[in-house]
Structure 1
Amino acid sequence: MPNITIAPATAERFDDAEHALTGGGDGASCQCQWWMITNAEWQKTTREQRERMLRAEVDAGPPPALIAYVDGEAAGWVRVGPRPPQVRLRRTRSFSEHSEEPWDDESVWTVSCFVVRKEHRGKGLNARLLEAAVDYARESGARVIEAYPLDPNAGKKIPVNDLYHGVLSTFQDAGFREVARPKPYLAIVSLDLTG
């Protein structure tokens, strides 16, 4: 049984964050900046610039994500934090037209991105990362967590690289309720942290 631990993505763990992000999928090129900048800004930035943006974000704190370790090796990542700074979420019509929460409310947090290295997939890391993200958000004063997972059982083949959103069943198992279904395969889920 592997030993799984989860820790905040702090400045001293930046190399671990990079290791987690670069083990498969789009994490290496994205640097978890997709939701942080507009499409126009995205088109103008290089991978190296996005890495510098992530480093600046991590250095400035508070930690924008959590890192999962399997037997001491950085194996996964989840972005969790206040929703307003993630500007592309608000600009995504499927989300902006269906969220129950005001977009400028800093007490609304979001889980917007998962990355798990290929060699560590199938070990339940997304569920462990989500559980830790909920705890982190609650401890940080979040009122609600929202997320935008995909439903692979909705009849559409979902490319593996799109699963960075997370899978609907993982959120449902963690107690999130579905608040909208903007597309047959795309859900908006929410968890109230005040109770």
Structure 2
Amino acid sequence: MDTIEIHPLSADRLGDWLHYFDHVAFADNPDWQDCYCHFLHADTASKPWSQWTGEENRRAVIPLIEQREMNGMLAYAGGQVIGWVHAGPSRCLPAMKDKPGADEAGVAAIGCFVVAKRWRGQGVARQLLRAACDQLKAQGLHTVQAYPRRETKSEADAHFGPLDLYLDEGFSIWHDAPGERLLTVRRAL
């Protein structure tokens, strides 16, 4: 197995990130290939998410990455990106602003995981989560929360991260509202 390296997303790694989302990230899930992880940032008040095109999403994330408004960690193997976790201060994930606790100072959020099909089930998401938590703590944040689905029926359903992963990594269920698809799990950093 190749050695996996984890690096924070930065403007210097923008080309790697774009290549991953252009060609690898959703190779087995073409319905989502237009997302570019912009879903958590898109202004859906002025334009419904269903009307955003892949090219619009791609163009929109570039300045977010360059200005450090879109944050996360990239997993590499053999010099190529094989996985991504969208993670940063809660204020940087506008789609999560209404989630319980997201507006608290010092709270970070984990958004999406996108691991290349070939690399799933090999601990890449766990390594990304651990690295993201370390990075968020280094930024002075004190709590991280995430929003796994209560139930998943496919790998794509687990794009917010599987609940078992969070529980294994010391998170606990913090908010569980009956009838909601997403739970809120939390952990101190």
Whether 2:166 is the aligned partner of 1:159: answer: no
Q: Hey, what does 1:175 align to over in structure 2?
A: 170
* Distance in structure 2 (CA, Å) of the matches to 1:80 and 1:111: 4
Q: Hey, what does 1:83 align to over in structure 2?
A: 90
Q: 1:2 to 1:127 in 2, by over 3 A?
A: same
Structure 1 segment 71-110 matched on structure 2, within 5 A: 71-91=78-98, 96=99, 99=100, 101=101, 103-110=102-109
- Give the TM-score normalised by the residue count of structure 1: 0.83
* Distance in structure 1 (CA, Å) of the matches to 2:32 and 2:93: 17
Deviations 1:44-86 (A, max 9, x none): 4321111111111111126611100122210000011111232
Displacement of 1:146 in angstroms is: 0.6
Q: Hey, what does 1:113 align to over in structure 2?
A: 112
* Distance in structure 2 (CA, Å) of the matches to 1:65 and 1:28: 19
Q: 1:87 to 1:177 in 2, by over 3 A?
A: same
**Contact 2:61/2:70 (8 A) holds in 1:** no
* Distance in structure 2 (CA, Å) of the matches to 1:189 and 1:122: 21
* Distance in structure 2 (CA, Å) of the matches to 1:185 and 1:57: 28
* Distance in structure 2 (CA, Å) of the matches to 1:112 and 1:131: 14
* Distance in structure 1 (CA, Å) of the matches to 2:126 and 2:150: 15
Structure 1 segment 19-168 matched on structure 2, within 5 A: 19-21=19-21, 22-24=24-26, 25=29, 28-40=33-45, 41=47, 42-61=49-68, 64-91=71-98, 96=99, 99=100, 101=101, 103-152=102-151, 157-168=152-163
Deviations 1:118-146 (A, max 9, x none): 12112111101000010010001111101
SS in 2 for 1:14: helix
Displacement of 1:185 in angstroms is: 6.0
Number of residue pairs the alignment of both structures matches: 181
Deviations 1:72-127 (A, max 9, x none): 21000001111123222234xxxx3xx2x2x4334111001100111211211110
**Contact 1:20/1:77 (8 A) holds in 2:** no
**Contact 1:20/1:67 (8 A) holds in 2:** no
Q: Could you tell me the percent identity over the aligned residues?
A: 29
* Distance in structure 1 (CA, Å) of the matches to 2:70 and 2:52: 22
**Contact 1:150/1:163 (8 A) holds in 2:** yes
Point out where structure 1 has 5 or more consecutive residues left out of the alignment: none
* Distance in structure 2 (CA, Å) of the matches to 1:45 and 1:149: 24
When the two chains are superposed, the root-mean-square deviation of aligned CA atoms in Å is: 2.1
Structure 1 segment 5-16 matched on structure 2, within 5 A: 5-16=5-16
**Residue type of the partner of 1:121?**
R
